[in-house]
Amino acid sequence: MEPLEELKPSAWPEGTDHKTYYLSEARPLGELRPLWRKFADEITFQKWLTFRDHARKNLFWLGQKVLGKDLVKWHMIPCYKMFVQKNFDGVYRAGYTIGEVHAAIAKQKREKEMLFFASRGSFKSTLDGIDCVQWLLNCPDIRILILTGEYKLALAFMSEIKGYFFRPEDTPCTYLQKLFPEYILEGKDPSSDSPLRCPARIHISQKEPSIWVNAIVANLSGWHCDIRKIDDVVTDENSNNPDTRGKDGTLKKKIDGTDNLVDEWGFTDMMATPYYNDDYYGERLKTRDEVPLVFGRFPGWTVKAPYIGTPLKDLTEDMVDLLFPEKLSFKSLRQKLRKNENLFRCQQLCEPAADGGAVTFTEDVLKAHLVSKAPAEGDTFIAWDWSFSRSSYADFSAGVAGRIVPGEDRFDLYITEIIFGRWRPSELAYQMVQFEKKWKPKCTIVEKSMGAELLQMEVARQAQKFGVALNILWKVPSNEKDAKRNRIKGVETLLANDNLWFVGGAWIDETFEQLMRFTGDPKNRGRKDDIPDALAYMQHFCPSTKNNEELKKMQQDREHKAEQKAIYASIFDSPVYVAPAAQPIPMRKQLFGPLAR
């Protein structure tokens, strides 16, 4: 029992005798003392009870110290924040009823449902199994149903939990078995398909076993449970058909049907890998305001703030924070990425990317990032997506003004105004110059697509007319496949990481409409997406070493051309207009302080 010695014994209540029920013990001390003497008398009875109580109340300690799992720091978050923090003190007494047990379950403090996204290989199912053990230790009369997408997976889950309690003949007890000998399973191999019936159960007349498993496709009617565990019930196979997985699909109906198996006092934990935006988990997240849900997403790596928007395959180890570096190293994750990017997004980054990296902006998420005003500090930048035409079917031209507010290890981008319309070249140039005059940006980025030379000339003419200094970078658009979708996917990431905020204005409705309509699906080309694309170009000003190096090079090229024009004018005395010298674009260290680590 040496690894458990650091705990101090709990305070011993006055007047304890063999009939006393101590803390959350379901048996009186008179029944527990013989168990202690037989299995764990190398420590004091009081300390033995202290260890039992701590195992019931601290999931991380139970998993790491008692069950010997390689849990590390990141596992503390779900252990202490997502799973039910159990406390059954004072519940048990002589002759306690099953109704009192149900009432005690209902009083546990957490929302009734939990959805847990985590990278494959991060021990999320292991944590789920440890939680099942802890429920049993707290409540020997509990009924736990485990549902998975495939029956073989369900059986493996059952075998793991049984293995904690199973003691082969003539073998020493594990720490768990020394602490809870009344739970020891003997005589049956833990790999058997039979349900687990807890030997410590008091109310043995219950129809349902302590733990049983099934696949979601099975007939489940007629059963009831206190705890429902849904572990990877959506798979890459059962969700690849839109008619099966959607909000009206058979899979969602089947999962929703199991709601009736959980009695009113019960809890549901979902351990999941998302595949599609409209799979069961995606649909469930849409209703989290109406039906509360504890939600956590733990990808294998998280891109550091300065590098958000960098293509996945361009990321290096210094650009990401690893979730579980002790097991999921950058090298191992990158190998999975190189083999299959979509599968990597789903299974390691917990993104619903099986449909080719679809982009989803929901109204709830957008409204949650709506603010009344932007902070006064920070630097302002502008980005444009433009088109020449006044046809009612033509694309908009859209300009976005945003302010970047740096922090120690993050940044916030506040969109302060968006203008859009269908303008002829002269009208567009006028709008661009007036937008520059209003916001006085540190820099503006404009896509250098077909017809840009004409627009550049007109913008320069309008700037001279109104006396506006320009600092415009004309960027050649990427010709890579799905370049636009990938740019706008970066906006989705900014929202997910709470880096992007919208200041309320008359432009909000159209902006949100275009974002919500955008999916990135090639079938939907023709839908208006000018505002999302202009918004995506703002990422070039976000703190990123790569982007700033690109901006610096473009600025140097522009300054070199300006110098050549000035020399030409001085030699030939030609009236060449040269805009007032713009302030140099600061590099990352100047703008935002030391690089975040």
For residue range 140-170, list pLDDT tens digits in order: 999 999 998 877 777 888 888 999 999 988 8
Q: Is residue 39 part of a domain?
A: no
Task: Please tell me whether residues 343 and 483 are part of one structural domain.
Answer: no
Task: Please tell me whether residues 291 and 375 are part of one structural domain.
Answer: no
Q: Is residue 70 part of a domain?
A: no
Q: Is 362 exposed, middle or buried (0-12, 13-18, 19+ CB in 10 A)?
A: middle
**Who wins on pLDDT, 556 or 264?**
264
Task: Please tell me whether residues 279 and 306 are part of one structural domain.
Answer: no
Task: Please tell me whether residues 309 and 373 are part of one structural domain.
Answer: no
Task: Please tell me whether residues 441 and 320 are part of one structural domain.
Answer: no
Q: Is residue 471 part of a domain?
A: yes
Pairing of strands 320-322, 301-303: antiparallel
pLDDT tens digits for range 360-377? 787 878 998 999 999 999
Angle between helices 151-165 and 124-138 (to 10 degrees): 50
Is the pTM higher than 0.85?
Answer: no
Contact 82, 116 (CB under 8 A): yes
Task: Please tell me whether residues 253 and 310 are part of one structural domain.
Answer: no
Residue 434 has pLDDT above 50, yes or no: yes
Task: Please tell me whether residues 206 and 310 are part of one structural domain.
Answer: no
Task: Please tell me whether residues 511 and 547 are part of one structural domain.
Answer: yes
Q: Is residue 121 part of a domain?
A: yes
79 confidence band (pLDDT: 50, 70, 90):
very high
Task: Please tell me whether residues 131 and 279 are part of one structural domain.
Answer: yes
Task: Please tell me whether residues 335 and 309 are part of one structural domain.
Answer: yes
Q: What is the CATH number for 493?
A: 3.30.420.240
Enumerate the H helices of 269-360 as residue ranges: 280-286, 330-339, 341-347
pLDDT tens digits for range 488-535? 878 888 887 889 999 999 999 999 999 988 876 655 454 567 899 999
Domain count, the chain: 3
Task: Please tell me whether residues 391 and 308 are part of one structural domain.
Answer: no
Please give the residue range of the domain that contains residue 518.
365-592
pLDDT at residue 521, as a whole number:
60
Task: Please tell me whether residues 215 and 317 are part of one structural domain.
Answer: no
Contact 540, 475 (CB under 8 A): yes
Q: Is residue 101 part of a domain?
A: yes
